[in-house]
Amino acid sequence: MMQPELWVVDDDASVRFVLVTALREAGHAVRDFADAASAWAALNAAAPPPALLFTDVRMPGDDGLKLLERIKRAHPELPVVVMSAYTDVASTAGAFRGGAYEFLSKPFDLDDAVALAARVLEKPADVDVEVAIATQEAPLLIGDTAAMQALFRNIGRVAQAPLSVLITGETGTGKELVARAIHLESPRAARPFVALNTAAIPAELLESELFGHEVGAFTGAARRHVGRFEQADGGTLFLDEIGDMPASLQTRLLRVLAEGEFFRVGGRELIRVDVRIIAATHQPLEQLVTQGKFRADLLHRLDVVRLAIPPLRERRDDIPRLAEGFLQRAAQRLGIATKQFTRAALQKLQAHDWPGNVRELENLCWRLAAMAPDARIGVDDLQLAAARTHVSADGWENALATWAKTQLASEDVNDLHAQARARFDAVLLQAALDATEGHRGQAADLLGLGRNTVTRKLGSSRRRHSPK
């Protein structure tokens, strides 16, 4: 019998060379192609087809995802490994949605590629033949470190399966953002994503918040209330801080998850829903189980797939890109010129331990975007911002007057009022967000503004990322 072939498609001759060499050294018969078209032509001419095909994504002509799509239509059984230097969630999810067998982030370890080939040749691939085309924009998760790239691959993979996911990570590491990314890349993307922070709602209201209630179910229940489970029907329900759920509710939740149906509080109509659950926690749930504070069977049901987000101090190489990204986004939202960190400032940011993780960094960047005096943000600016120096109340008007005078004297400004208002809003909102650790609803309450107003002022891009 002829030895099955492995094919490598990549426009980069050096990648082809090292990969082909490594696979040949491992004893495989390998053919390589510099573009998708020649691989596709060979595939239609070749009998039998290769046992496995590696393809790059970005290539002149048709890209690797296009090739993947064609292959999955014509040869659904052929396992395809997608390789790319662009490991963001949109790429990994796009690859897995298109039926990729595996995603390799470039640069990858050649041993991994060889091990992968061995695995595929050993067992018939379990390939997903369904090619769904979804074009939802994913939220922008930034991360170049190996840990984050691995996380993005896992997000891309779990998004396709209807499994429960448990996301663990310290506060502000991006658990909610990851949950949204999974939802947006899943077949449920067009249906609702509903979030509920278990810790933010008083225990006695939590049951009706989750399952809804009928009129008169309890004192004060004047109207029927549709719970989060029903709101999320067909979509995803994100249960944040699941470790804070009271014991009685854990029991009820477990039953609902097992049966897929429930009664509203005080209701008699059996409600059936189809909801994917993504839970998150910053607490060690196993420990809570040992202490008798969390049901082991509920943990098993939620923890089908676990995604752990490392704290920011364990992926310091991500800090510069995150910081620059936040600064840029803040400038766009506030309608002011983009500022830049000096190299020393970035180093200082990288050295910090970030107990509040990405949220803390994001808040600092927004503060700096609004308040740092120059276009270059140096170490001194960081110190000022970190100390959260506030101009004393009686000096506030003076500071404003000085600023206004400088502006009026130096440039031909005609929108000074709008500029001042934008900065005023930014400073006030940031102070409130700092005081509430980034929780928007609470910040709105403190400011005496509606939550929608706060969201609007913060701008539409942030809205998708962190509603609280």
Ligand X SMILES: Nc1ncnc2c1ncn2[C@@H]1O[C@H](COP(=O)(O)OP(=O)(O)OP(=O)(O)O)[C@@H](O)[C@H]1O
Q: Which residues bind ligand X (CB under 6 A)?
A: 140-143, 169, 171-177, 240, 282, 322, 358-359, 362, 465-466
* Residue 171 or 340 having the CB closest to ligand X: 171
Sheet of 102-105, strand order: 29-33, 5-9, 52-56, 80-84, 102-105
* Residue 176 or 381 having the CB closest to ligand X: 176
CA nearest to 226, candidates 239, 210, 249, 203: 210
CB of 454 to ligand X, least distance (A): 14
3-state secondary structure of 173: coil
CB of 168 to ligand X, least distance (A): 10
Polymer length of the chain: 468
Q: Residue 428 is inside which H or E element, if any?
A: helix 416-435
* Residue 94 or 174 having the CB closest to ligand X: 174
CB of 16 to ligand X, least distance (A): 32
CA-CA-CA-CA dihedral for 379, 380, 386, 390, to nearest 10:
-160
Instruction: Report, in this order, helix, strand and coil percent for the chain, each rounded to 5.
Output: 50, 15, 35
CB of 340 to ligand X, least distance (A): 18
CB of 224 to ligand X, least distance (A): 30
- CA distances from residue 228 to 186, 219, 232, 252, 465 in whole angstroms, order as listed: 19, 20, 6, 14, 19
Of all residues in this chain, which one has the CB nearest to ligand X in the complex? 174
| Distance separating alpha carbons of residues 267 and 215, to the nearest angstrom | 9
- CA distances from residue 361 to 15, 318, 347, 365, 366 in whole angstroms, order as listed: 36, 11, 14, 6, 9
* Residue 171 or 328 having the CB closest to ligand X: 171
Using alpha carbons only, give the angle 14, 141, 363 rounded to the nearest 5 degrees.
Answer: 130
* Residue 80 or 278 having the CB closest to ligand X: 278
294 alpha-carbon distance from chain centroid: 26
CB of 452 to ligand X, least distance (A): 18
Phi, psi of 366 (to 5 degrees): -65, -40
CB of 159 to ligand X, least distance (A): 16
* Residue 28 or 153 having the CB closest to ligand X: 153
CB of 404 to ligand X, least distance (A): 32
What is the chain's Cα-based Rg? 26
* Residue 56 or 176 having the CB closest to ligand X: 176
User: What is the distance between the terminal CA atoms of the chain, rounded to a whole angstrom?
Assistant: 61
CB of 465 to ligand X, least distance (A): 3
* Residue 97 or 180 having the CB closest to ligand X: 180
Which of left, alpha, beta for 132 (phi over 0: left; psi -120 to 50: alpha)?
A: beta
* Residue 34 or 365 having the CB closest to ligand X: 365
